[in-house]
């Protein structure tokens, strides 16, 4: 099963697979927000596509492109978009992001804090609640 694939302007597709033979089969909740980008979005998208966990938080940033830096002879460089990332089920998240399964906005009074105490973090607490439900469903 691919974790993601990329596709260039010529529709050349390259599948990317997880390394290792084991499938993760434990309860899983992934927290995302508007600062979750690129690889973390692809991870969350794969979890969502394969229904192996629950995505909690707010919509991610939406960076679904692959860029390559090409050095120039004068010491500068050009950054080019060379392909797009897609989730295993073919979703390109560029510009739209991953929409969580359970939408939980961070409480306003916590948004300016550098470090949020665990017991006050309403997104984390919701994720823990869901995780406990998943564990209870196994028993």
Known catalytic membership, residue 38: yes
Q: Which of 36, 40, 60, 63 is catalytic?
A: 63
23 is catalytic: no
Measured distance CA(54)–CA(29) in Å, rounded: 5
Q: E strands of 8-134, at which residues?
A: 13-17, 29-32, 54-57, 65-71, 77-86, 102-103
Give me the count of residues in the chain: 139
Among residues 36, 49, 60, 83, which one is catalytic? 49
Which of the residues are catalytic?
A: 38, 49, 63
């Amino acid at each position: 099963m691919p974790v993601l694939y990329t596709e260039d302007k010529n529709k050349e597709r390259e599948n990317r697979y997880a390394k290792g033979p084991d499938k993760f089969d434990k309860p899983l909740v992934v927290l995302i927000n508007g600062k979750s980008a690129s690889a973390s979005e692809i991870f969350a998208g794969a979890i969502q596509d394969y229904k192996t966990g629950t995505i909690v938080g707010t919509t991610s940033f939406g960076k679904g492109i692959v860029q390559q830096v090409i050095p120039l002879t004068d010491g500068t460089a050009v950054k080019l978009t060379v392909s797009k990332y897609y989730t295993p089920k073919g979703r390109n998240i560029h510009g739209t992001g991953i929409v969580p399964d359970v939408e939980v906005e961070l409480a306003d009074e916590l948004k300016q804090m550098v470090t949020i105490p665990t017991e006050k973090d309403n997104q984390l607490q919701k994720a823990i609640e869901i995780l406990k439900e998943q564990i209870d469903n196994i028993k």
